[in-house]
Amino acid sequence: MTTRPRLTPAIADVRRAVRAHLPEEGLVLVALSGGPDSLALAAATAFEAARAGITAGAVIVDHGLQAGSADAAAHASATAKSLGLDPVLLMTVEVGAAGGPEAAARDARYAALAEAARHTGAARVLLGHTLDDQAETVLLGLARGSGASSLWGMAQVAGLYARPLLGIRRSTTVQFCADSGLHPWIDPQNSDERFSRVRVRRSVLPVLETELGPGVAEALARTAEQLREDASALDSFALEQVEELAEHAEAGISLPARALEANPPALRQRIIRLVVLGEFGVSLSRAQTIEVSRLVTDWHGQGRLDLPGIKVERQGGLLIFSSANS
């Protein structure tokens, strides 16, 4: 049966955030680890879904990476049922090694969530990422220097997935659990400073808050949102340009060099990346994209570029892209 604790500011804030992301009908699933963020999300979803007349369930993913993970997953499953969530799916995954332990665990988790949604026909899967997670993501992207896209952070809605708590601080989810009489599981990996995200959480952000004043996490989250809005607009402009400029050539696709050169670099490089991704399924890095762009802006008769999966050459006024196998 769904718990109905005394309404406090923390409970009201989390419920309000969840309410805005429920589907109008069908099943919604909560990705539940048992930690304070996902537990607050699960409890608020159980309450709000019942009021909205829709069905809410939960997915618990056991990564099997540490001792006691099966017990923690079983406890989260029992908690989900006690909240009134149904169905409750407990899925055990095998975590590979590609991309490092964090990336491999994330890939396995999302594969399990997608499978759970397919199996149940869920309309939406809710994830428990908070504003603090968003700030950490932006700082990590900044430190890695991997371009503007790494500073966008996480989208509040991305296809099947929604993150209702991206505007909610982690301290609020902890208070929600305390106010609701819920006892979250504390993942020991969240204190393991071998992980870069843990070091950002425990050391970097607190130092920034101390030295620069409160509100750093909120500012980073706002920055991510603004960059995502700007990127979305540029991508839309680039797509319009691709549809207008791209012509299928005998062995691939071509773009007029003069029209490309007339665009500012940010738009020109997006056009190049979109053409290559759309036609060949190849995702160019920034360095590779700039190499291609030089065939437009710094043309002095240089020869063909051989990049992973594609060939690019300039023939007169055309930039011609073809498969590396053609």
CATH number of 71's domain: 3.40.50.620
Same domain, 137 and 285: no
Q: Of 186, 221, 256, which residue constitutes the final position of a domain?
A: 221
Predicted confidence at residue 125, as pLDDT, reads: 98
70 is a domain residue: yes
Taking only the tens place, the pLDDT of each residue in 217-274 is 999 999 888 888 888 898 899 999 999 999 987 778 999 999 999 999 999 999 999 9
2 is a domain residue: no
Same domain, 22 and 118: yes
Same domain, 311 and 210: no
Taking only the tens place, the pLDDT of each residue in 81-136 is 999 999 999 998 877 767 676 778 888 899 999 999 999 999 999 999 999 999 99
pLDDT at residue 3 tops 60: no
235 is a domain residue: no
Say what percent of the chain tops pLDDT 90. 62
What CATH number corresponds to the domain at position 317? 3.30.465.60
Q: Of 221, 237, 254, which residue constitutes the final position of a domain?
A: 221
Same domain, 44 and 119: yes
Predicted confidence at residue 132, as pLDDT, reads: 93
Number of structural domains (the chain) is 2
The residue among 79, 84, 91, 81 whose CA lies nearest residue 117 is 91
Same domain, 140 and 202: yes
Report the SS3 class of residue 170. Answer: helix
DSSP 45: H
The model's confidence at residue 199, banded by pLDDT at 50, 70 and 90, is: confident
pLDDT at residue 182 tops 90: yes
Q: Chain-wide mean pLDDT for the chain? A: 89
The model's confidence at residue 325, banded by pLDDT at 50, 70 and 90, is: confident
Same domain, 266 and 196: no
Range(s) of the domain holding residue 198: 9-221
Same domain, 209 and 282: no
pLDDT at residue 171 tops 70: yes
The vertex-265 CA angle with 264 and 269, nearest 5°, equals: 125
Same domain, 91 and 210: yes
User: Residue range 163-192: average pLDDT?
Assistant: 89
Same domain, 45 and 148: yes
pLDDT at residue 58 tops 60: yes
Q: Which residue has the higher pLDDT, 283 or 37?
A: 37
Same domain, 208 and 102: yes
b/e code 119-142 from CB counts within 10 Å (16+ = b): ebebbbbbbbbbbbbbbbbbbbbe
In the block, residue with structure tokens 């995200």 = 197
